[in-house]
Every structure is written in structure tokens, then in C-alpha cells.
Structure 1
Amino acid sequence: MTEEKQVTYKHLKKGQKISGIKYMNTSSGFTAYVKEVNPAFVAVEMWNPGGREEKINSDAVFLIELTDEEIREKYNGKAKDVVQDIQKVMQRDEIGCHEMYNAWLSSNPWELAQACVRQKLSILGHCRDIIPKTAIFSGDKLDIGVCAEDENGERFWCHFRSESINALVRRYERYQEWRSKRVGNMDDILGGIPFESETER
């Protein structure tokens, strides 16, 4: 669920991971960790054998990953649509005859919304009238087909767990409830975000 944003040196913190820079009409990708920040330069430790230190001009634009909370905020509107649409029941003849890989599906509503945006897909609903199969690695029973449509209007479907739809809805609803109650700084909320258990993913 990683995604990057561009920031100036003023937004960097010691120990923070950066994944590249843009400077003087050029861009460079790498992995490094911030060691020192000042108005003249940003000292970073490169992530490679030896971990050499480099100083980067503070006029550069730095690429850093969005936090989980930023991801949720960015895709919250789309996640609402995903949660509503995936619950719609469809008939077998409505989902199309083309089955596709299901690696992009997730019981995390914001991760699923992000995947839909990136791949220009719309989820239309789910169908129970399919032949179930067992996931190779997890052994989970994939008992429903999730139907999606690409930007050209072509429909396809992917195997998915019916329990994952329930988990997706619960996670979204619990987050909205938590979000509506929070006041002031999020650090004041005891216990953190209440839906991060592995059993609901």
C-alpha cells in the first residue's frame, strides 16, 4: 500500500526513510535514512553495503512514503464506494466470463480503493454462483467472485473470500466511527486506531 509524496527538507525528521530526490531538473531514486537536517543540507545514510553518508542540498525535493493515516485520508472517499459496491449481489451471467488474478483484492478498504484508482478499475459487486477454489499458500476457501470493470467497460471477476467482504465492511465502519469521534491531536486518542488486528485483514 506504499505511495510517495514530495516534500521539502523542512518536513524531514531524523531517522526517516527517503526513496529519492528531485533536484535541478533531474531525479534520482534510492533508499536512505535521514541523519541530520539543516537549511544548508540534509545528511543521509544510504541503504547499501557500507551505508555511506551523503549530504544533499536542502533545495532538493525529497520523496517519502505516505503514512497509513495519509493513505486512509486520501482514499477514504473511494473506499466508501468500494465498500458499498462490493456488497452488491450479482448473478453469474452479469460478471462476465473472463476470470482474472486476484492479487489486487484486499480486505483493507483503502488498499483496495488505491488499487482500483491505480489500475483504473471499478468494483461492481460479487457473485456466489461460482466454483470455489482453495488458495495455494493460505489454504483459504475462495467462495465468491468479485466482479470489476476496467476503463474500457470490460468486465472480469476474481476469486475472493466472503469473510473478507465482512472484514472490509467492519474495518471501514469502525474507522469512520473513530474518525467522527476524534478531536484535536490524534496523539490524544488512547489505544490508537481500533481496527488493525491481523484477524480482520
Structure 2
Amino acid sequence: MKPASILGALREDLHAAKLRDPAANSNAELILGYPGLQAIWSHRITHRMWRRGWRVPARLISLWTRVVTGVEIHPGATIGRRFFIDHATGVVIGETAEIGDDVMLYQDVTLGGRSLERGKRHPTLLDGVVVGAGARVLGPITIGKNSQVGANAVVVRDVPDDAVVVGVPGVVKKPEVDMHEHWAEDPAIYI
């Protein structure tokens, strides 16, 4: 269930950042010094504008947000609750991307398209997905619940629930630990 208000969503994002980054010392530090948090907050506003038909203002704000944070999130992208981007710089999220709840991305991740066709062109990340630094998840594919994408992987095919995908092109590996208990496990260890 989505939070009733934008303020509720902002609070949940702040809590998710505090939970997922052991370097975070205070709410003030998170609010003022975490571009990933600032980018998702801007997106929460521009997405509502986009859905109301205020597309040019939404795009202009998203452009300004990219300049300030280094994160490009298209206002049309759908992003669930408690989303966190760690280190943030270089992240790109395309217009038709769909991101579930409790998802975490590291720096330099692309959720991009592989086609110029209209319609669904970008990936869907289900709840609990973690995407490692430098990964490219491309096309209208689905990354299953609680799955992890390894650092620098290039994923162009669906990934099942509770999987780890690594390499170029991405290959599904059996995780060595219970991913439900180790959600912050570094996916790069599987490369």
C-alpha cells in the first residue's frame, strides 16, 4: 500500500537511507548531504506532476535535479516505497522503469532501454532488489523479488526471484547465503 501523502513517502525514504547506509550519522546529514535521497525526493514530486499532465515543468525540474545530484530519473518512472540510491552519481532511470518497494541501487547504475519503440522499454525491479555499482539493466525485463545484480553486470534477460546475476552478459548464480537475511550482501562477491 502506498503512503497516504508525499510527506509519508519522504519520511520512509529517509528511514530507508538511515537503515541502509552505516556511514549516515544523522537525519541532517542525510537530508543535506545525500544526493541519492535528494534525487528520489525530487522524483516523488515530479512524478506526481507528470501524472497530472504537467510534463514540461516536471522535465525541467528533473533536469535541474540531474545537474545538482548527478542522478537522472525520468518523471514517468514509477518508484515504490523506501527506495535508496547509495553514492548516487551516474544513476539513470528511464521513463517506463518500474521499481518496487525496498529497492537499493548503487552508483552508476542504468535502468535503460534497448529500443526506440513506444511503450514499455525499461526494466521492472520487483520488491527487495539490490543493484550493484556500474550495473546495466536494459530493456523491458523483470528482475525478481529479493534478487541481486552484481557490480558491472549487464542484464538483458529476466531474472527469477531470490537470484544473483553477474557478468557480461548477466548469468544467474546460486547465492551462497540466504539473501533474505543478508539483503545488503555485496553482489560483487559473486563475480
TM-score, with normalisation over the residues of structure 1? Answer: 0.24
- Greater strand percent: which structure? 1
Indicate the structure whose relative CO is greater, using CA pairs within 8 Å and at least 6 residues apart. 1
Which structure: larger Rg?
A: 1
TM-score, with normalisation over the residues of structure 2? Answer: 0.25
